[in-house]
Amino acid sequence: MKSQISSIKKQEDFKSIIKGKKINNKYLTIFFKKLSDKSNKNLNVSFVVQKKISKNAIKRNRVKRQMRAILSDAIKHININLNYSYLLISKRPLLEIEYKKIKETIFKEFESIK
């Protein structure tokens, strides 16, 4: 199935997702919730890398690019529930680990969401 990744834009959607379910590990926190006005053809996801994690914008953007690439790969390889909208908030240890470990962690967490 070919689906696109689209980002969450509305502030009320962010607030609604944060009130939903969450999965927490030492690298990131994933919030997810079903939104009523969401299309089932696209994966709604937003990535947050706070300034307190790194003052350097290059490092923050690198983490967001990596997570976006991992999720586009995950759409092809695992069954992601497109009924949910997701918010991924990274933590400081995510800056120090390698790409392969980030990918394994995100795949494992998304497989657990049903």
* CA distance linking residue 61 with residue 58, whole number of Å: 5
pLDDT value, residue 76: 87
pTM of this prediction? 0.87
Kindly tell me if the per-residue pLDDT of 29 is higher than 90: yes
pLDDT of residue 28: 93
Assigned architecture for domain 4-112:
2-Layer Sandwich (3.30)
Distances (CA, A) of 16 to 5, 10, 31, 93: 19, 10, 10, 27
Q: Name residues whose C-beta falls within 8 Å of residue 25's C-beta, 6 or more positions apart in sequence.
A: 105, 109
H or E element in which residue 103 lies: helix 99-112
pLDDT of residue 35: 79
How confident is the model over 53-98, as pLDDT tens digits? 999 999 999 999 999 999 989 888 888 888 889 999 999 999 999 9
- Mean pLDDT of the 43-54 span: 91
